[in-house]
Structure 1
Amino acid sequence: MAKVKYYYDAETLSYRKVERKKRTTLKYATVFILASALFGFFFVLIASQFFQSPKELQLARELQNMQLQYDLLNKRMDDAIAALGNVEERDNAIYRLYFEANPIPEEQRRAGFGGVNRYKKFEGFDNSQLISESNKRLDILEKAIVVQSKSLDEIKILAKDKEKFLVAIPAIQPVNNENLTRVASGYGYRTDPFTKVRKFHYGMDFTAPRGTPIYASGDGIVKRADSKASGFGKHIRIDHGYGYVSLYAHLYKYNVRVNQRVKRGDLIGFVGSTGRSEAPHLHYEIIKDGNRINPINFYYGNLSAEEFNDLLQKASLENQSLD
C-alpha cells in the first residue's frame, strides 16, 4: 500500500494531502523505463564480452572444427605434394632421361590459373584467406597430377621400344622386405660407425640376418665377385649395360662367378658382415657412368606405393651407417 504524504498549508492552518499530478507520474515512469533500458543495454553489452550465448558457443565450435579440418586438409596436401614431387623427380631425372625425352619444366608443373579470379566466391569471410589458399593449392596439385599422368603416358609409349633396356637397369630391392630387420641407413651424410665422423654414405644399408638371400636388381654380367676392394669385404658388381653398375657388399658368400650372366631376381649371394662392417647387412650401391647415385630411385619393380613411401622416409633419416 502506497504511503500518503501531507503538507502544512499556512493559509488554512491545516495539513493537506499531497496530490501527484498525472504529468509528474508519467515523467517519473518514463525516466524509470529509460534508465532500466539503458542499464539493461549496458549489462548485455558488458556480459557479451565475457559470456557467450549457446548459439555463439555452437558457432565457435563449428568454426574451430572447420579450422581443424582445413589444417588436416593442408597436411594431406603436403603429403601428396611430397609424394608427387618424388615421382616428378624420378620422371625428370630417370625416366625421361632414360628415354631421351626433355624434362618437364617446374613452371609448367606448378603453373597457376590466370584470367578470371577463380576464388572470388571465398572472399568476404573471416577465414577467406585460409579457404582461398587451400583451394589454390588443391587446384595446382590437381593440375600437376594431370601433367604427371600425361608424362607417364608418354613414357609408357617410349618404353615399348626399350624393353631390353628396362630389364637391364636395376629396378628391384635386392633383399626381400620379409627378410629385412630394418633399413639401417640411406644415401647421404651419415655418422661413420667407427670414427663417429659425419661423412657421405654412397649407398643403402639393409639390415638382415647372416645368410639372408640377395638378388640381382637387373639383368647383366657379373664383373667382380671378390674381396679385393677396400672396406667392402666380399662383394659383387654387376654390369647392366647402358652405363649402369650395381654393387652388393659385405657378403657372407657368393652364389655367382665372374662373367656369369644373371637376370633380375636371380640369387647372387647371401648377407654377411665381411670387410668394414659393424653388423650383418647388405650395403647396396648404384653407379651410373662412374658416378654413385641414390639407389632409392631404383625400387619401382617390386615395391608398392605404400612400401616405397615407407622406405623413402626411413632412408631419409640422418643416422649412423653400418659401414
Structure 2
Amino acid sequence: MSKVKYYYDPDTLSYRKIVPKKTKKYRNIFLFLVGSFLFGLLGLTLLLNTNLVNTPRELSLQREAKNYELQFELLNKKMQQMEQVLANVEERDNNIYRLYFEANPIPEEQRRAGFGGINRYKSLEGFNNSDMIISTTKRLDIIQKQLVIQSKSLDEITVLAEEKEKLLAAIPAIQPVRNEDLKRMASGYGWRSDPFTKARKMHWGMDFTAPRGVPIYATGDGKITRADNNSSGYGKHIRIDHGYGYISLYAHMSKYNVRKGQKVKRGDLIGFVGSTGRSEAPHVHYEIFKDGERINPINFYYGSLSPQEFENLLKYASQENQSLD
C-alpha cells in the first residue's frame, strides 16, 4: 500500500491530501522498468565476462578441453612406451648388430637431434595449453626422426649381412684335398730345404701329398682367373679370385676340371693331383694371397677340420723339413 502524502494549504490553514497525476505515475513506472532493464543488462554483461557463470557453450568447450588434456596424457604415456622400445632397438643396433658387422655405431647426438632453423611450432602458440601441445608435438617429431634413422640403419645392416654372408662363403676355409685322400702333410709355410738344391729357401705355401689323380677342391667361392702351366715352377695350376682381396693357388695338377672365367663354389671339383712343373712327387702345392701378399694357409681350415685334426696339421706344418717343390 502506497503512502498518502499531504501538503499545507496557507489559504485554508489546513493540510490537504496530495493526489498524484496519472501521467506522472505512468512515467515513474516506465522509468522503473527502463532502469531495471538496464541494470539487469549491465549485471548480465558483467556475469558473462567473469568466471562466475558459464554459458552452455563454454561448459561444452571446457569438457572438450578436459577430454583433449586426457587424450594428450594418454598419448604421452604411449610415446614413453615407444621411446623405451626404440631405445632397446637402438642399443641392440649399436652394441650387437653394428658391432658384429664392424660398422661404426650411430652417435647418440645424431639419434636425439632436434630440428634447427625456423620455429616449426609457431602456429601452436597463443593457446591455453600451448606448452603441452608444443612439447608433445616436438616429442612426436623426434620419435619420427629416430624411427627414420633406425630404419636406415637396419637397411644398412641388411646389406652388411648379405655382404658378410658372401664374405664367409668366399674366404678359403677347407683343405684342397680330403683327409681320407691324403698320404701326409709334407711341408708347411716358412723356411724349408729345397729338394733340388738343398739350400734353405722360403716355401710360400703348404704341400699335401696324395696319389696321382686324387680330386682337388675349391676352398671358397670365387672365379677361375688362371688354369694353365705358364707360371714358372707351378706346372699345371689354377688360381681362384675369391674377392675381398683373397686369391688361392693350386699347383702341380695332372689335369683341370674347370676353365678360366668359370665361377665355382666351395667344395667344387677343380682338378686332380699330379706332379707337373718343379715337383719331386705327386702333391698339391697350396697358397693363399691377401691383397697381393702371400699369407700362411694354416689359418684357413676352420671349415673342414676338427680341433684335433687341426692340431696335428699345425704340428706337421711347423716342422722345418724338405719341401716337395
Q: TM-score, normalised by structure 2?
A: 0.51
Distance change in 2, residues 1:99/1:243 (3 Å):
farther
The equivalent position to 1:259 in structure 2, one of 258, 261, 282, is 261
The equivalent position to 1:162 in structure 2, one of 161, 164, 170, is 164
Distance change in 2, residues 1:242/1:192 (3 Å):
same
Q: Does residue 235 in structure 1 map to residue 237 in structure 2?
A: yes
Distance change in 2, residues 1:314/1:101 (3 Å):
farther
Distance change in 2, residues 1:232/1:301 (3 Å):
same
Please show how residues 138-287 of structure 1 align to structure 2 within 5 Å: 162-287=164-289
Distance change in 2, residues 1:161/1:263 (3 Å):
closer
Distance change in 2, residues 1:99/1:230 (3 Å):
farther
Tell me how large the CA RMSD over aligned residues is. Answer: 1.8
The C-alpha deviation readout for 1:244-280, integer Å capped at 9, x for no partner, is 0000000000000000000000000000000000000
Q: How many Å apart are 1:160 and its aligned residue?
A: 7.7
Q: How many Å apart are 1:159 and its aligned residue?
A: 7.0
Residue 159 of structure 1 contacts residue 166 of structure 1 at CA under 8 Å; is this kept in 2?
no
Q: Secondary structure at the match of 2:169?
A: helix
Unmatched runs of 5 consecutive residues or more in structure 1: 1-97, 103-157
Q: How many Å apart are 1:206 and its aligned residue?
A: 0.1
Q: How many Å apart are 1:100 and its aligned residue?
A: 4.7
The equivalent position to 1:320 in structure 2, one of 312, 319, 322, is 322
Q: Secondary structure at the match of 2:305?
A: coil
Please show how residues 69-80 of structure 1 align to structure 2 within 5 Å: none
Please show how residues 44-193 of structure 1 align to structure 2 within 5 Å: 100=102, 162-193=164-195
Please show how residues 301-320 of structure 1 align to structure 2 within 5 Å: 301-320=303-322
Aligned length: 171
Q: How many Å apart are 1:193 and its aligned residue?
A: 0.2
